[in-house]
């Protein structure tokens, strides 16, 4: 078993297991934000980005079942020959509170993954209501305002986004970094 997943192999797995376009874009967005966070924290951007790319690998299989979500991703990755305990734990903790017997987030990596994947929902929803449907020109203060409106993208876990501050980064800075990360891949994600 390999304890790391090379970027090219992660992309192959992403292509193999995720077919829903929305999930594919969400995973790319999460990956981009995770890479940006890794660079900020002096961590490995490829490793963090891979976690973002693969965190929802099972969603087309589990069809939204929170009890299977995350567990199936880990099973897939193990069957593919990988054993990445830190990444597997982060994948499980990003479902904290949604499934029974899930471990709580406790590391910078785990808080970052849960926050990054949650913030993609707010940013995507915001971009979709913009007249040009583009991320270019999006301001962090606009996203912060939408975070306060609980009816906007209501399913997004705002607590996970706010918990980014447990990593030592201010939420406003995290939002700005995330906008920058998504702007860098705007063409690939159609924003």
Looking at the predicted structure, is the pLDDT value of residue 1 above 70? no
Looking at the predicted structure, is the pLDDT value of residue 3 above 80? no
Q: Match 């880990």 to its residue by tokens.
A: 74
Q: What is the pLDDT of residues 21-70, one digit of tens each?
A: 999 999 999 999 999 999 999 999 999 999 999 999 999 999 878 888 99
Given a contact cutoff of 8 angstroms between Cβ atoms, the answer to whether 34 and 111 are in contact is no
4 band by pLDDT with thresholds 50, 70 and 90: confident
Q: Any residues with CB less than 8 A from the CB of 29 and at least 6 apart, and which?
A: 120, 123, 124, 181, 182, 185, 189
What is the second-level CATH architecture of the domain 7-189?
Answer: Orthogonal Bundle (1.10)
Q: Match 């390999």 to its residue by tokens.
A: 2
Amino acid 136: pLDDT: 92
CA contacts within 13 A on the Cβ side of 93: 23
Amino acid 23: pLDDT: 94
Alpha-carbon distances, residue 175 vs 17, 101, 141, 148, 181 (angstroms): 29, 30, 9, 14, 10
Please provide the average confidence, as pLDDT, over all residues in the chain. Answer: 94
Looking at the predicted structure, is the pLDDT value of residue 2 above 80? no
Amino acid 99: pLDDT: 78
* Percent of the chain with pLDDT strictly greater than 70: 99
Residue 100: Cβ within 10 Å count? 7
158 band by pLDDT with thresholds 50, 70 and 90: very high
Q: What is the pLDDT of residues 119-153, one digit of tens each?
A: 999 999 999 999 999 999 999 999 999 999 999 99
Q: What is the pLDDT of residues 69-109, one digit of tens each?
A: 999 999 999 999 999 999 999 999 998 877 788 889 999 99
Domain positions in the chain are 7-189
Taking the C-alpha atoms of residue 38 and residue 86, their distance in angstroms, rounded to an integer, is 14
Q: Partners of 96 in the beta sheet?
A: 99
Amino acid 81: pLDDT: 95
Amino acid 49: pLDDT: 97
């Amino acid at each position: 078993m390999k304890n790391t997943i090379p970027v090219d192999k992660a992309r192959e797995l992403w292509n193999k297991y995720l077919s829903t376009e929305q999930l594919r874009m969400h995973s790319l967005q999460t990956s981009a934000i995770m890479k940006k966070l890794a660079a900020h924290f002096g961590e490995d951007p490829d490793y963090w980005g891979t976690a973002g790319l693969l965190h929802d690998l099972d969603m087309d299989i589990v069809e939204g079942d929170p009890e299977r979500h995350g567990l199936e991703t880990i099973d897939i990755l193990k069957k593919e020959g990988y054993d990445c305990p830190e990444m597997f734990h982060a994948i499980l903790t990003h479902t904290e509170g949604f499934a029974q017997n899930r471990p709580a987030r406790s590391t910078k990596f785990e808080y970052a993954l849960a926050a990054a994947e949650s913030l993609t929902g707010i940013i995507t929803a915001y971009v979709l209501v913009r007249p040009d449907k583009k991320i270019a020109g999006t301001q962090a203060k606009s996203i912060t305002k939408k975070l306060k409106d609980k009816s906007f993208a209501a399913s997004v876990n705002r607590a996970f986004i706010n918990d980014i501050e447990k990593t030592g980064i201010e939420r406003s800075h995290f939002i700005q970094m995330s906008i920058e990360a998504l702007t860098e891949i705007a063409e690939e994600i159609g924003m």
